[in-house]
Chains A and B, each alone.
Chain A
Amino acid sequence: MPHLPSFAPARPEEILLPVKPWFVMLTLILGLIGNLIPVSGVTLRLQPDFLALVLLYWCIQEPRLISVGMAWCLGLLMDVADATVFGQHALAYAVLAYAAEYSRRRVLRFPLWQQAAQVAVLLLFCAALVLLVRVVGGAPIPRWTYAVGPLVGALLWPVVTTLLQWPQRPRRSQAEV
């Protein structure tokens, strides 16, 4: 009788099972849903880009499954959902996916909280790219609260990691317990 693993981040020596593609798709759809939650006011400023966060996780963990092309397609979906200029999120997500693929080996060496710091840099970079596209298009420069969303996203990184790697953690047999 296999035991479900405890709900905590995987220990470094644990070997994760291969991920199921449907689980990746499901989490990406949940990330999209997270972005579409109707909120307003302060909550809207605090709301991180859930889709970018989930995407970043899979780009770092499973670069052979999810990479630049998939990120770009999801970016197009977000462009329609947010009614922004076509290509804005697509560009940002594609660059985010590439940056994740480039830095994944380094990121994975660190404990979760230090990973979160690096994720903050990646998410801020993604937000800065969107800002650049918009400012070139003539939008005014937003206030500093613009950076709050990505930072909240980085704070959520340990939670997201724990949640998303939970199904991949090996079931332990009775003998081991």
Chain B
Amino acid sequence: MRHISVEPPPFFHRGPSPLARLAFFGLLSLALLFADTRYRYLESVRHAVAVVLYPVQRAVQLPAEVLAQVTSYFSSQAALAEDNAALRQQLLSEAPVVQGYQLLLQENARLRALLNVEKRFQGATTAAEVLYSGRDPFTQKLFVDKGESAGVQPGQAVIDEVGVVGQVTRVFPYMAEVTLLTDKDHAVPVKVERSGVRSVMYGAGSGRLPELRFLSPNVEIQAGDKLLTSGIDGTYPSGLAVAQVVSVERETGQIFARVTCKPLAGVEKSPHLLILGRAAAPPQRPEEPAESDTPRKGRGRHRG
């Protein structure tokens, strides 16, 4: 050993032995693991610790923010002008669509009022920035910089400029946790844009593409089809772009077709996200007959 030992001889009191301490804390961890996975008792503790952690998390963001500000300060005028021109062009090219959309929106609102149907969205949308992505390789999660203080609630859908990114699953005072489409426990009800076939897209974990399960081999779906949210779960508003079908394998001998799809949104890339207001609450689910109370596997805890 390099330094002179300042430890007293072992006959002085030094507290419990390391092994005893390990046993104590090990058992405590196991109790926590059990309490958290089985009963979710500890959300309030998690909130308290999250508040303590928040300054550290913000401190990590600071250098990147300063760098972004400095670079934007020094970005050349020519580049800005070019950018501006391109954006104007894009605005102009999208103007007819937008104007048409306004008309459709009004028409839709009138029709819905006539039919007495509730509005699609409730509450405002919130723009948020990604703070960091969780380091846990077993789940696919992000943290964004808007939380309870900005009115974010668990269950809200999160999108980027192309499509659905995921869903808010936990809300802390100043930040929120977003579970991504690709998370293993995440399921999104979707429909195929072309044929209207309904299904549920299940995430498959990091590095693997999500898939549609339990589709019979003769179902009307092909590679390249676009999947939209179907809106039947009451969590995701209907009609948001979700993914594109990459491959459809129909093997004889298999009961179900194997359909993999690729999320359209930059699920792990987009730095700016939009948290949508809650979809209107669906009507109460009718009572089920008593014999079908078997637990449904895989329908996910994130149904909001």
Contact = CB atoms under 8 A, between A and B. Distances in A.
Interface in A90-135: 90-91, 94-95, 97-98, 101-102, 105, 108, 133-134
Contacts of B36: 85-87
Interface in A48-71: 49, 63-64, 67-69
Given A88-B33, A108-B1, A142-B137, A80 B18 contact: no
Given A98-B18, A108-B2, A87 B29 contact: yes
B25 A94 contact: yes
A127 B214 CA distance: 35
B2 A94 contact: no
A76 interface: yes
B57 A40 contact: no
A89 to B, nearest CB: 9
Given A72-B28, A80-B46, A94-B22, A134 B138 contact: yes
Contacts of B68: none
A32 B138 CA distance: 20
Contact of A15 (B4, B64, B268): B4
Which of B19, B26, B45, B131 has the most CB atoms of chain A within a 10 A radius of its CB? B26
Contacts of A49: 135
A161 to B, nearest CB: 11
A142 B59 CA distance: 31
A95 B26 contact: yes
B206 A84 contact: no
Contact of A36 (B7, B60, B205, B269): B60
A159 to B, nearest CB: 18
Given A40-B133, A137-B37, A68 B268 contact: no
Interface of B: 1-4, 6-7, 14, 18-19, 21-22, 25-26, 28-33, 35-37, 42, 45-46, 49-50, 52-53, 56-57, 59-61, 64, 130-139, 141, 143, 170, 177, 184, 205-207, 268-269
